[in-house]
Amino acid sequence: MALFVVVGTFDPPTLGHVALVEAARAMGERVVVFVANNAAKHPLFDARSRCELMRASLSHLDGVDVEIVTGLVAARARDLGAHALVKGVRDATDVSYEIAQADINRDIAHIETILLPAPPHLRAVSSSLVKELARLGADVSPYVPDPVARALADCCQGEQS
């Protein structure tokens, strides 16, 4: 049984993240989504909330689990028996960063990384952009699953100037 791991901070989950998990699921029988923390980022949603938003956004898929991951992602993926990590890339900057990360993950955990390009219509969409739009009161529904749009509306309605 092929198992793939998709990892990200998902703050918030976007339709690009959903497309990535769908692509990973098409490659294997099982996908585990790791919701991670990144010390360099200041999340809008806590890890538990991001996990719930991912679950709600992926509820149409069988064979997909979502969990919070702490510690070394590549080692946890290897311990689960994952065939590879699956990462989405939107542009050359993402590719450069992810290749460096893939090299480290191969060295320390002996796990490969598969890079998948974002669908063309979602390449400009990032969690940072979505958060900024939501804070300004814009409609983010073209970029995020419905549960995420509702959570952003609830979270950001008081921030609009």
Catalytic residue numbers, as ranges: 17, 41, 90, 127
Half-sphere exposure of 119 (CA within 13 A, CB side): 13
For tokens 């510690």, the residue is 71
Phi, psi of 35 (to 5 degrees): -95, 115
Give the whole-angstrom CA distance, residue 92 versus residue 54: 26
The pair of structure tokens assigned to 140 is 């983010």
